[in-house]
Amino acid sequence: MSDHPLVPGPSSAIERGPWHYGADYVSVYFQGDVRPLAKLVPKAFNVDEGLCMAYVCEIISVGDAGEAMVASRPDRTIYQEAALGVKCRFGDRQGIFYPVMWVTTEWSLLRGILNGYQKRLADRISMTKLHPLNPGLRPAGPGMEFGGFCVKGPETTLKVAVKILKAGSPKDLPSFGTTFGMRRFPKTDQTQGEVDELVEILKSNSKVSDVWVGTGSLSTTLDVGKIDVLSGAVYRSGFTISGSKVLN
Amino acid sequence: MSDHPLVPGPSSAIERGPWHYGADYVSVYFQGDVRPLAKLVPKAFNVDEGLCMAYVCEIISVGDAGEAMVASRPDRTIYQEAALGVKCRFGDRQGIFYPVMWVTTEWSLLRGILNGYQKRLADRISMTKLHPLNPGLRPAGPGMEFGGFCVKGPETTLKVAVKILKAGSPKDLPSFGTTFGMRRFPKTDQTQGEVDELVEILKSNSKVSDVWVGTGSLSTTLDVGKIDVLSGAVYRSGFTISGSKVLN
Amino acid sequence: MSDHPLVPGPSSAIERGPWHYGADYVSVYFQGDVRPLAKLVPKAFNVDEGLCMAYVCEIISVGDAGEAMVASRPDRTIYQEAALGVKCRFGDRQGIFYPVMWVTTEWSLLRGILNGYQKRLADRISMTKLHPLNPGLRPAGPGMEFGGFCVKGPETTLKVAVKILKAGSPKDLPSFGTTFGMRRFPKTDQTQGEVDELVEILKSNSKVSDVWVGTGSLSTTLDVGKIDVLSGAVYRSGFTISGSKVLN
Amino acid sequence: MSDHPLVPGPSSAIERGPWHYGADYVSVYFQGDVRPLAKLVPKAFNVDEGLCMAYVCEIISVGDAGEAMVASRPDRTIYQEAALGVKCRFGDRQGIFYPVMWVTTEWSLLRGILNGYQKRLADRISMTKLHPLNPGLRPAGPGMEFGGFCVKGPETTLKVAVKILKAGSPKDLPSFGTTFGMRRFPKTDQTQGEVDELVEILKSNSKVSDVWVGTGSLSTTLDVGKIDVLSGAVYRSGFTISGSKVLN
């Protein structure tokens, strides 16, 4: 039969993995309030500090051996993403859980849900892009501002802004540990099976480059309590995701 | 925590069910070739005759007790759908399986996948609408043509056209029996759980009205073999879906 | 050559007129402040009272003799519109001028600009729709709420809500007189020609039906001063526009 | 009053110029048939050779002194464009006329129409993008393929593909001379004014970089006769447009 939308394959919404990503980020790091943040993550995760990040990014992504799709089906290789992540702990393991991750394409929505991300479809995500040959634009550098927003229905669910102070390096970006997730596929009837499990995303090949650090600001429809922005950053990153592993 | 996108609830992509539907259809009934059609349905379903239907529709849908959303969040109550269904048999039970059902919103995509429909997100679905006060349009009637199409990426995945010959009644519409589906949520790692089950959609409260019957035509990117159109129809329909039940 | 996008013809963005419309409206009538309202209309128009209306609607529209397009190219016959109009006076002629009218398609954008409407392209307009066969919905009637919103970029530029109190008739809808507009096509160089003229839209065949009246509320990004809502209404309307005539 | 959509200004659809552009192109150069090509350009332009180009590109654009908008309103600075241009002659001046240029935003649509481009709104334009940190992608180089497509309604109006053979330089790209255009704003009533003039786009600050040349292919809904592809190219380009000047 045709591939089921959630079962990776040629006629599915999801390419066969592992999946490779190259992304340009505008990120803001902030402190929220522990109590509302604790309500945004599964109970098994402890929110100790209230450290969070929010970002908007554009991603070029291909399945393993799917390089040709950047030419034959570019619409299956480009998407925008906006997300807010909360630092938390599972036992003695530190990580980040994203209560919501908005994306602009079906395939990133379903692939993410399959792997354990709480993805939602955005109506629109837009973010700063520069171009080295545009006579009216300077390259990234001190004083330059970057921004992005995510719209869903009548709401701007996330908006971030970063003002660059100086060039940085990958180690200037706060570390959150592993990426936590949750895979759910609930019953709608007692005869059905279900999946309900906490996972750790299997990420490798991480690289970061073109880091600029500065100040930031953000607004969101999620309740994160009082927002105390720590810093902002603009950078590029690449990585591979091969799936996710059940936490225990 | 925030509701998981697939777990019905106030902050989920999916409203709590049962879900109620009111739809306007442009449908074409046709005979395809049994062999390619058999490849479009799960193996457990037998394609005996090759009878199929294809349609484009606009749907107004609300969750139970969610009537207020038509005013507060109309974007969560309106979508377009295009689909092609194949008559098949599970044991001695007759039904219809939809290899692909394209929809225009996140919530109809995820709600459908949860219930067992092989839903995919369309870029655009457009179909004939009339308006009784438009001075340039006649009401539906003999000779009037209706059409619709579904676009995804660079492809028009489905296109239907109907020319009305005469007024009809609900019993003029071919009957397919129950609606079959498949719920899948596969593993991406051996530690994970999974769901893989054939289901029957739990549909009730069915009503049909404003039936017009005539000739039809269609084209699709699905391989259904040689297409022999039997008839076309335009009608309105309403129903309730409470979930789905595992077939056995 | 191919038709220019602004010159009505078969390969243009604009069909040959006259153009026929059938629309479903959710409208709110309100009093704004004369001073900010005066800044929203051309100087030649006097804002005496501050009476305004704001609406969201879905329109089915065809060019004269273009009835077949509802089937062959339905995407060229359906759009959503959201607008805010200000009652004003040109000499002794009463009318309404719409400082902005957001629409969801290219052809309604360009056709409107050609005729003298200050049209802009919305990212999304969504509004209440009911369906008589949806088992979870009641028909329009007292107590029922209708709503709609318009999104452009990161902003919800207009949002309206109406709560029905009772059935009404066309004469329950406030009258604004003629529809004023402005046709502009400015120079970007001294060698170029230009158009700059105030117009009156040539509207005929007006019909109104299915009127329900009640209370309303609205919010907008336009500066209309303090909003004092007078009433809300839900209704259907049909009319023909043949172009526009220069005011003098 | 609010700025008219076509009159450059802060609340208009069009920023004040000059306008600066930085773009990434996938282009195909081909020979079409002179006779059908002559029907795609205004009569005053002579099609002598049948040389054409077709491209898909992503553009970052800002108005003069509008650099801040890349952060505050990125949706007003990024768009995709797809176009087909025909080499032609006005008197003894060589140039290129674009019978249709599809774009993805309102502001590029209206700005282009104001300056003399025959712009139309696309539903979607998608094209190859690479990312240096994506572990599954190689950088541009020999053997690499690029592609793009433009969808409008039920049609893929333009599709291009390029296979890189080798690194190139700006002088490897065929030269077409000046860019011709046509400004039209027709009457819909005898009382109205109108504009109808052939123009030359005022372009400066042109730069080209990152050129790769190779083979190409294309398909389009425009009638260009038999297509004989000459070459394909991938490159970046930057330029400034200050308006247009009437040809005489």
CA distances from B45 to A132, B38, B55, B207, D230 (A): 57, 8, 21, 27, 51
Tens of pLDDT, residues C185-206: 999 999 999 999 999 999 999 9
The radius of gyration of chain A from alpha carbons, rounded to an integer in Å, stands at 18
Closest-CA residue in chain B for C139? B67
> Residue B230's closest CA among B51, B86, B88, B97?
B51
Average pLDDT of D210-215? 98
Q: C239 with D185: CB under 8 angstroms?
A: no
Give Cα B218 to chain centroid, integer Å: 16
Nearest to D75 among A22, A64, A126 (CB): A126
CB contacts of D67 in chain A (<8 Å) are 136-138
Indicate yes or no: CB of A145 within 8 angstroms of CB of D78. no
* Predicted confidence band of residue C28 (pLDDT cuts 50, 70, 90): very high
Q: Which residues of chain A neighbour D239 with C-beta distances below 8 Å? A: 135
Split at pLDDT 50, 70, 90, the class of D248 is confident
The mean pLDDT of B160-171, rounded to a whole number, is 98
CA C223/CA D173 separation, integer angstroms: 50
**For B99, which of A2, A118, A199 is closest by C-beta distance?**
A2
What distance in Å separates residue A144's CA from the closest CA in chain B? 35
- Residue pair C151/C124 in contact (Cβ under 8 Å)? The answer is yes
- A38: nearest Cα among A87, A101, A92, A84: A87
Q: Give the length of chain C.
A: 248
| pLDDT at residue number D46 | 97
Comparing CA positions, the residue from C223, C210, C202, C194 lying closest to residue C26 is: C210
Angstrom CA distances, D232 to A209, B65, D87, D170, stand at 31, 58, 17, 13
Q: Give me chain C's average pLDDT, please.
A: 97
Partner D contacted by B153 (CB < 8 A):
yes
- When pLDDT is cut at 50, 70 and 90, the band that residue B66 belongs to is confident
Residue of C nearest to B69 (CA): C128
pLDDT on residue D231 = 98
**What token pair was written down for D188?**
């819909």
Identify the pLDDT of residue C20: 98
Is residue B121 within 8 angstroms of chain D, CB to CB?
Answer: no
d(CA B99, CA A156): 35
Given a contact cutoff of 8 angstroms between Cβ atoms, the answer to whether D124 and A104 are in contact is no
Contact D188 C246 (CB under 8 A): no
Tell me what ipTM this predicted complex has: 0.96
Q: Which residues of B touch D123 (CB under 8 A)?
A: 123-124, 151
Handedness of CA C207, C209, C215, C219 (dihedral sign): negative
**Cβ under 8 Å to D: C residues 196-225:** 196-197, 199, 202, 222
Task: Check whether C248 has a pLDDT greater than 90.
Answer: no
Partner-chain residue, chosen from A61, A74, A137, that has the shortest CB–CB distance to D62: A137
- Beta carbons of D74 and A161 less than 8 Å apart: no
Half-sphere CA count of C185, side-chain side, radius 13 A: 26
Three-state secondary-structure class, residue A172: helix
In the predicted model, residues of chain A with pLDDT beneath 70 are: 1
Confidence class for position B65, pLDDT limits 50, 70, 90? confident
Torsion sign across C-alpha atoms A110, A116, A118, A119: negative
CB proximity C120 to B under 8 Å? no
The count of C-alpha atoms lying within 13 angstroms of the C-alpha of B13, restricted to the half-sphere facing its C-beta, is 27
Which pLDDT score, from 0 to 100, does residue C1 have?
60
* Residue D10 exposed, middle or buried by CB count within 10 Å (0-12, 13-18, 19+): exposed
CA distance C163 to chain B (A): 9
pLDDT, one tens digit per residue, over B111-129 is 999 999 999 999 999 999 9
Tell me, yes or no, if C99 comes closer than 8 A to chain D by beta carbon: yes
Give chain D positions within 8 Å (CB) of C197: 192-193
Indicate which of C1, C40, C78, C155 best probes the interface with D, i.e. most D CBs within 10 Å of its own CB: C1
Interface membership of B115 toward C (CB under 8 Å): no
Cβ <8 Å between B126 and D159: no
The proportion of chain C whose per-residue pLDDT surpasses 70, expressed as a percent, equals: 100
Do residue C4 and residue D182 have CB atoms under 8 angstroms apart?
yes
pLDDT over 70 at B131, yes or no: yes
Q: Is A101 on the interface with B (CB under 8 A)?
A: no
CB contact under 8 A, D5 and C154: no
Give the pLDDT band of residue B1 (cuts 50, 70, 90). low
Instruction: Please report, rounded to a whole number, the percentage of residues in chain D having pLDDT higher than 70.
Output: 100
pLDDT of residue A1: 60
Comparing CA positions, the residue from C214, C231, C235, C230 lying closest to residue C169 is C235
Residues of chain C with C-beta less than 8 angstroms from the C-beta of B126: 74-75, 78
Summarize the confidence of residues D31-50 as an average pLDDT: 97
Q: Which residue of C has its CA nearest to A158?
A: C154
Dump pLDDT digits (tens) for C86-143: 999 999 999 999 999 999 999 999 999 999 999 999 999 999 999 999 999 999 999 9
Window 55-84 of B: residues touching A by CB (8 A cutoff) are: 73, 75-76
CB contact under 8 A, D133 and A66: no
Q: What's the pTM?
A: 0.97
How distant, in Å, are the alpha carbons of A131, C15, C180, C243, D47 from that of C8?
A: 37, 5, 22, 12, 25
pLDDT value of residue D239: 98
pLDDT tens readout for residues D138-190: 999 999 999 999 999 999 999 999 999 999 999 999 999 999 999 999 999 99
